[in-house]
Amino acid sequence: MSILENLILTNITKQRDTRPEGTARQKLLDALALQIEAATATMKGEMFIRRVGRWVDVDGTKEHKEVPVRFRPWWFKDEAGTVHLHIRYGNKPLELKPGKSVVTVGTMDQLVPVLEQVRQAVTAGELDKAIAGAVASRQRVLKKPATTKAGKTTQ
């Protein structure tokens, strides 16, 4: 008897959401996972250092190494010591409701559960409109104006 005969074989492919909304949602979920990791380390009293792989020049040769990069936490404390949270897409805070972009958390102990709730909301698609607005505003910034033959820019 063959080893492969003992396995259950199927013909199925991995499902990925390749729509722009799905890609943007996944980007925000990845950023939230990083924030949750940092908040957990902060609550334990540990220093959180984000590391990424980069090619660095070592003695004239390129080597792939993990290097520390700047990490920006989404939370901050006010004068009274209350913790507040910005949900960011890229470098802009998302407007969760019209005119409101900050979540008041309270204490640092409540930060990770609030971030988990936000992750559930993103997974459920509750922030899709806010994400779409952030993506659209970013595309307007990146869009280069068209030039005419005379060298003038048009919109």
For 21-46, what is each residue's pLDDT tens digit? 778 889 999 999 999 999 999 999 99
Say yes or no to pLDDT of 1 above 90.
no
- Give backbone dihedrals phi and psi of 132, rounded to 5 degrees, phi first: -60, -40
For 2-16, what is each residue's pLDDT tens digit? 788 888 878 887 776
Extract the runs of DSSP E, i.e. beta strands, from the chain. 50-58, 61-69, 75-77, 83-86, 88-89, 92-93, 102-106, 146-147, 153-154
Q: Residue 76 corresponds to which tokens in the numbers above? A: 């901050």
Q: What is the pTM of this model?
A: 0.74
For 99-136, what is each residue's pLDDT tens digit? 888 999 999 999 999 999 999 999 988 888 888 888 88
Beta-bridge partners for 56? 63
How far is the C-alpha of 130 from the C-alpha of 128, rounded, in Å? 5
Phi/psi region, residue 21 (left: phi>0; alpha: psi -120 to 50; beta: rest), is alpha
